[in-house]
Amino acid sequence: MKYEIVLGLETHVELSTKTKIFCGCTTSFKGEPNTHCCPICIGLPGTMPKLNEEVVNFAIMAGLATNCKIAEFSKMDRKNYVYPDLPKAYQISQHDKPLCYDGSISLSNGRVIGIERIHIEEDAGKLIHQAGKTFVDYNRGGVPLIEIVTRPDFRDVEEAVEYLELLQLNMRYINVSDCKMQEGSLRCDVNVSVRLKGEEKLGTRTEIKNMNSFNNIRKAVNFEKERQIEILENGGKVQQETLRFDVATGVTSPMRSKEDAHDYRYFKEPDLGLIYVERQKVEEIKKSLPELAHNKLLRYVEEFKLPVLDAKLLVEYKAVADYFEKSVENVKDVNSYKNCCNLILSLIFSKFETEAEKENFKILVSEKEMAKLLNLLETKKIRNNMAKKALEEMLETGKKVEEVISFEDLKEITKEELENFCKDAVKNNEKAVKDFLNGKTKAIKALVGHVMKLSKGRADANLAEKILEELINK
């Protein structure tokens, strides 16, 4: 392939503040059309916006989570365009002085994606086409958004997808947005251009608007890449234009002709003052930020010695990571981290069917009970399979550790007892013994199983195997 693809992303993230950006209406997306509106967010004549302080705080958090600098002074501007879902005929946004700038996100392949800016703005309403008529619902109008603009730093669509996954994860971690693509709280425009490998100058880009899933991004970008390469190969020139992606046909097509190109006529919003962010406030927000998913992942691998893949699964949902960390708060043995991780990934995760369930992570076993279980494992009072059995029951019934593991179960097994169990196993499994003697070393497992059964899982499997081998070889 002699061509290289260059991508840049503009991502809109809906902030989960309680109220809208310029009025006191709720941001909840539930509710009958036009019930979360007031004179301000439907832009009635004479109304004025008032900037919601929480929006600024959330955006600063998002900026800090993506290594951005926070502008001491920024301002709001009017972006003028006419559309029925935009009740003032301008969107209050930020043009040349965004709140956050110069950030970055690191990808797993070591490449660093530059973030040019993050600015705050208001969302528009929604048009609803029904029975040949068009209706408009302004509930979403005035819901706060941040727009995160990257530099053209992606060289592969998978990098773009990983970036979006990380962004999604980080925004959820700091609790500023639920970032659900299918619900529109994360929306993405992709800038695509191609150039000959080794070429430094960027090619002419096209912008694919409103992508709503990772898969569509992959499809749209690949289609667009082929289309642009074909144009260049035929000696043509790529037109800078805005495209839409048709999911059904898998084809990109221009959204509007050049004559209709928007001239947004930006100018400073005269109804709002400058936004001044005190340095002290930035420091305070920085301190209050939770550990980000990416850093958590690194820590899990280093401190808890977890395999990268396991650690990745744990940090993917903040509630899961929180549960994990609370459970292992007091453990001393490094194996307990692995034990806890295994129990969560094998037993607890399988209980959940949807993403939302994993995200909420509502289970009947408290961290305290989990810690008790880990402690029993750590002190070798119980074995892994018993722990699993116990946990299964606890998950089902909500019982405590002491209610599912009896005193009898915990009694330490004596050498003599173990030897007796082993003798019993050898006596009652002639075939397995024969197999073993004939060189089928795996046959010993059946014998160990027998011992475990007799000991109700209390036996140390390794020790049992050793005794069994000695008995057979005698």
In whole angstroms, what is the distance from residue 474 CA to residue 372 CA?
A: 41
Q: Which is nearer to other proteins, 88 or 383 (CB)?
A: 88
Closest separation in Å from C-beta 22 to other proteins: 10
Half-sphere exposure of 120 (CA within 13 A, CB side): 31
Q: Which is nearer to other proteins, 87 or 103 (CB)?
A: 87
Half-sphere exposure of 241 (CA within 13 A, CB side): 17
DSSP state of 443: G
Closest separation in Å from C-beta 220 to other proteins: 27
Q: Which is nearer to other proteins, 79 or 205 (CB)?
A: 79
Closest separation in Å from C-beta 243 to other proteins: 21
Number of other residues whose CB lies within 10 A of the CB of residue 432: 22
Q: Which is nearer to other proteins, 45 or 198 (CB)?
A: 45
- 95 is written with which tokens? 């043009």
Q: Which residues pair with 399 in a beta bridge?
A: none
CA dist 289 → 61, 170, 171, 283, 465 (Å): 7, 11, 11, 10, 51
Q: Which is nearer to other proteins, 265 or 286 (CB)?
A: 265
Closest separation in Å from C-beta 104 to other proteins: 30
In whole angstroms, what is the distance from residue 370 CA to residue 339 CA?
A: 11
Q: Which is nearer to other proteins, 42 or 422 (CB)?
A: 42
Q: Which is nearer to other proteins, 102 or 271 (CB)?
A: 271
In whole angstroms, what is the distance from residue 88 CA to residue 43 CA?
A: 5
Closest separation in Å from C-beta 94 to other proteins: 16
Q: Which is nearer to other proteins, 48 or 112 (CB)?
A: 48
Closest separation in Å from C-beta 80 to other proteins: 5
- 256 is written with which tokens? 């509007």
DSSP state of 348: I
Closest separation in Å from C-beta 52 to other proteins: 11
Closest separation in Å from C-beta 213 to other proteins: 29
In whole angstroms, what is the distance from residue 57 CA to residue 89 CA?
A: 27
Q: Which is nearer to other proteins, 37 or 443 (CB)?
A: 37
177 Cβ neighbours under 8 A, 6+ residues apart:
13, 14, 15, 16, 171, 185, 186
DSSP state of 36: S
Closest separation in Å from C-beta 50 to other proteins: 5
Residue 185 dihedral angles phi and psi, to the nearest 5°? -85, -5
At residue 58, the 3 state secondary structure works out as helix
> Vertex 391, ends 389 and 395: CA angle to 5°?
120
> Vertex 293, ends 164 and 353: CA angle to 5°?
75
Looking only at the bridges linking them, the beta strands covering 206-211 and 242-246 are parallel
In whole angstroms, what is the distance from residue 190 CA to residue 8 CA?
A: 6
In whole angstroms, what is the distance from residue 461 CA to residue 457 CA?
A: 9
Q: Which is nearer to other proteins, 73 or 267 (CB)?
A: 267
Closest separation in Å from C-beta 266 to other proteins: 8
Which residue is associated with the tokens 């993506």?
66
Number of other residues whose CB lies within 10 A of the CB of residue 265: 10
In whole angstroms, what is the distance from residue 147 CA to residue 90 CA?
A: 17
Please report, as ranges, the residues that interact with other proteins according to CB under 8 A: 39, 42-51, 78, 80, 82, 84, 87-90, 134, 136, 263, 265-267, 270-273
Closest separation in Å from C-beta 149 to other proteins: 19
Q: Which is nearer to other proteins, 265 or 427 (CB)?
A: 265
